[in-house]
Amino acid sequence: MLTNFKEMLWDAYKGHYAVGSFNAYSYDTFKGIIEANRKAGNRPTIAAFGAKYLSNMSLDDAFAMVESIGKSAPDMQICLHLDHCKDFDIICQAIRAGFGSVMYDGSALPFEENLKNTARVCEIAHACGVSVEAELGSLAAGQYSHEGEATDEEIYTDPEKAAEFIASTGVDALAVSVGTVHGLYKGTPKVRVDILQKINEAAKIPLVLHGGSGIPEDIISSCIKNGITKINVNTEISVFAGNKLKERLMAADKIPHLSVLALDQQKDVEEVVSKYISFFGATD
């Protein structure tokens, strides 16, 4: 069942758990995500389609696919979310296509410009019943990152600015920068739960953790205790499935049929998603 993003995240906020937001760009990635959440007892699910995947699939096709696959899991709340988008026209197209939420990413812009653009997106999206996520602060890029650039500088979210931003824009969820990176970590992740705690006290709305790949379970749990209600995972799914594909091809006497490889990939996606959703449950 397609569901409202805002309600999903407020339920998580009150229930002290997080909803997994997993990136999808093909039938197999959508299906793997939904199957993992179905097997975990119909966990609320966010299928995230990044604006950068528009060459893989149109927004209308992504919506049609989630709507159709979702019918196989009628008891699961599913939200189709537009991930990282700077382009106003694409945001409007996603709203028209039926997406439940959109992320306007103005994090690279000066504060006032990010605020002004986010407020404009909120005005339009909310009039159409669509929720909005925005980002304040900036994440660095780790290994195999598919978001941002290796040169991206880490800028922590300022708690006071976060409160001002939320009050002025009416945004439904705020992505914060507290030490996670997009991509895989070269060493141990250094997540600043102390900063997150201050942001949570000031923000008082559901917070989003980008850069979920590779974050250990205990840190995820501390983040959830401090207001994180949506956790994004993309890179680890791709790296895991890519490595498995390489192993299979190296071990095969003859190249398997593409339909077999596609099914295997669906199972690989399911395996990584299952691991993360087991970390995202209630923390009390």
Task: Provide the binding-site residues for ligand 13P, judged by CB under 6 A.
Answer: 23, 83-84, 145, 147, 182-183, 210-213, 232-236
The catalytic residue among 83, 105, 158, 172 is 83
Residue 94 Cβ, how far from ligand 13P at the closest point, in Å? Answer: 15
CA gap 174, 228 in Å, rounded: 9
CA gap 80, 99 in Å, rounded: 5
Our CB check for ligand 13P shows the closer of 189 and 256 to be 189
CA gap 31, 263 in Å, rounded: 10
Our CB check for ligand 13P shows the closer of 13 and 22 to be 22
Residue 257 Cβ, how far from ligand 13P at the closest point, in Å? Answer: 30
CA gap 62, 66 in Å, rounded: 6
- The answer to whether residue 60 is catalytic is no
In the three-class reduction of DSSP (H, G, I as helix; E, B as strand; rest coil), residue 145 is classed as coil
CA gap 267, 276 in Å, rounded: 15
Our CB check for ligand 13P shows the closer of 43 and 182 to be 182
Residue 63 Cβ, how far from ligand 13P at the closest point, in Å? Answer: 19
CA gap 74, 67 in Å, rounded: 10
Residue 23 Cβ, how far from ligand 13P at the closest point, in Å? Answer: 6
Our CB check for ligand 13P shows the closer of 168 and 275 to be 275
Beta-carbon count within 10 A of 199 CB: 27
Our CB check for ligand 13P shows the closer of 71 and 278 to be 278
Residue 232 Cβ, how far from ligand 13P at the closest point, in Å? Answer: 3
With a CB cutoff of 8 Å and minimum separation 6, the contacts of 44 are 3, 8, 11, 12, 19, 37, 76, 77, 78, 79
With a CB cutoff of 8 Å and minimum separation 6, the contacts of 233 are 20, 21, 22, 23, 212, 213, 272, 273, 276
- Contact between 89 and 54 under an 8 Å Cβ cutoff? The reply is no
In the three-class reduction of DSSP (H, G, I as helix; E, B as strand; rest coil), residue 32 is classed as helix
Our CB check for ligand 13P shows the closer of 121 and 233 to be 233
Cα dihedral sign, 148-215-267-240: positive
Residue 226 Cβ, how far from ligand 13P at the closest point, in Å? Answer: 18
Active site residues: 83
